[in-house]
Amino acid sequence: MSVTAYAPMGNAGRTWKSADEPIIFDEPVLKEISKAKGKSITQVVLRFHLQRNLVVIPKSVTPSRIKENFDVFSFSLTDEEMEKIWSLNKNLRFYSKPIAKDHKYYAFHDEY
């Protein structure tokens, strides 16, 4: 069984986004690591998830972004960089599908 990082960038353009949600592209830690690696913030976040052995499914229809999304195997994050990214955790879930909360197999009743 594999765990999937669905919408690993948080999908800031979704219609139900609240105004106070953090935007990962504004995080100084990610900007710092991105600059040091010569990679985009998207690539750093995808690499973070891959190093955690998660399956990532970034959405894009733009050919240049699709190519960029695949260019995450030419570098790795150090343990220190991984810890810095972990420290950004805010215990948020953007796709909890509350419409299905009464279904017997609803996966998001547990705290995270």
pLDDT of residue 86: 94
pLDDT of residue 96: 65
pTM of the model: 0.79
Residue found by looking up tokens 């009743």 in the block: 109
pLDDT of residue 64: 95
pLDDT of residue 28: 96
Q: Which residues of the chain have pLDDT under 50?
A: none
Crossing angle of helices 41-51 and 63-70, in 10° steps, is 40
pLDDT of residue 80: 98
C-alpha neighbours within 13 Å on the C-beta side of residue 28: 0
